[in-house]
Amino acid sequence: MFSFKKVISKLGIGLVLLFMIIGMSLTSQAFLSTNNIFNILLQVSVICVISVGMTYVILTGGIDLSVGSIVALSAVCLGLFTHWGVAWLGENPSQSALWGVVLLSIAGAVLVGALCGYVNGVVIVYGKVTSFITTLGMMGIARGLALTLSNGKTIYNFPEQLRFFGNGRLAVTENFSIPIPVIIALIVVLISFYVLTQTVFGRQIYALGGNREAVRLSGINVNKLEIKTYVINGALAAIGAVILVGRLNAAQPIAGTGYELDAIAATVIGGTSLMGGVGSVISTSIGALIMGVLQNGLTLLNVTSYLQRLIIGMVIILAVFLDQLRRGEVSTGRLRRIFFRE
């Protein structure tokens, strides 16, 4: 017997991506060009990294609205650390010294992102404040710090060692190379996939989202576990900032605006349940690709950025609705009665 619910449940997110690629290629001849494909992958790389971090949080049943602001704060800190380090080296520094400064600056920026995540986790766990309110507050705090530290100005001109993380390429053959941001995103996805599927820590995260009380009764420290997911989320937001700064050769205090929406959208579209306990970083990365294909296709069709936001918002609502349908929290029989007056 045909069941719409079963069709939705079995429909692979990869198939959705394939249909979108086919549809966009039919509406625009430029869509499948090599340059455009690489452009999509470059655009998606930052959101993909941030979305993987968001997946950790949402798997526990939480949410993080501060990732966009954490990107901005981490970017500004990265810019300041790099400029201070280069100034400390003096004139004509060696390439190895510049690499040292850049790598230390990146480590410092990631530490800043992780610290923001740690504060989020501590307030949520020990302050008993909901993740929505806590991260909403952190959104304002991190953005305010970014604007204050930079005096509201963009920080420019970084050494090529830092730009490498946004614009560098790894040569595979004489005529083919892979952008470094894509490689970074792929590494983040693969490591997170291993952590969530092959380690005790990963299984505990799924269990925490599925049944928090059962996890607590089994002797696992649920407070530390939940805090760790926010720390990982903050650190990955900072890694996204590294890619962004390298690509733009600029650290902007207004960077990351709206990234929280994109990250949540990619995660939910990928099939991660907002209720927690269900999801995959592979599906999240495909969700990020769907977002990238959608935005790129709409741009090629000359759809304004404002209207793109409207469409993305509708896609999020549809994705959440389909998730509720899959979980059985929406009755298909009731839907038929509403729309077909049965």
- How many domains, in total, are found in the chain? 1
- Whole-model pTM: value is 0.88
Domain membership flag for residue 299: yes
Q: Rounded to the nearest 5°, which phi and psi values hold at 297?
A: -65, -40
Q: Which 3 state secondary structure label does DSSP give 3? A: coil
Region 201-224: mean pLDDT is: 91
> Which residues lie below 8 Å from residue 233, measured CB to CB, with a gap of 6+?
53, 54, 56, 57, 64, 67, 117
pLDDT at 207: 93
pLDDT at 95: 93
Domain membership flag for residue 126: yes
Domain membership flag for residue 19: no
- Helices 95-126 and 67-89, axial angle in degrees (round to 10): 150
State how far the alpha carbon of 244 is from the alpha carbons of 16, 45, 146, 160, 286, in Å.
28, 9, 15, 14, 20
pLDDT higher than 70, residue 342: no
CA dist 205 and 208 (Å) reads: 5
Query: What's the pLDDT band for 65 if we cut at 50, 70, 90?
Result: very high
Q: Rounded to the nearest 5°, which phi and psi values hold at 231?
A: -65, -45
CA dist 203 and 337 (Å) reads: 40
pLDDT of 276-319, one tens digit each? 888 899 989 999 998 888 888 888 888 888 888 888 778 777 76
User: 62: domain CATH number?
Assistant: 1.10.3470
- Counting residues of the chain whose pLDDT is more than 90, the rounded percentage is 58
Query: What's the pLDDT band for 99 if we cut at 50, 70, 90?
Result: very high
pLDDT higher than 60, residue 246: yes
Which letter, b or e, does each residue of 261-297 get, where b requires 16 or more Cβ atoms within 10 Å of its Cβ?
bbbbbbbbbbbbbbebbbbbbbbbbbbbbbbbbbbbb
Region 23-32: mean pLDDT is: 81
Residue 341 burial by Cβ neighbours in a 10 Å radius (0-12, 13-18, 19+): exposed
Q: Which residues pair with 178 in a beta bridge?
A: 170
Question: Residue 262: which domain range?
Answer: 4-8+33-328
pLDDT higher than 90, residue 48: yes
Positive or negative torsion for Cα 266, 269, 271, 275 = positive
Region 91-98: mean pLDDT is: 91
pLDDT at 339: 47
334 versus 49: the higher-pLDDT residue is: 49
Taking phi first (over 0 means left), then psi (-120 to 50 degrees means alpha), and beta for anything else, what does residue 11 get?
beta
pLDDT at 205: 95
pLDDT at 90: 87
pLDDT higher than 90, residue 122: yes
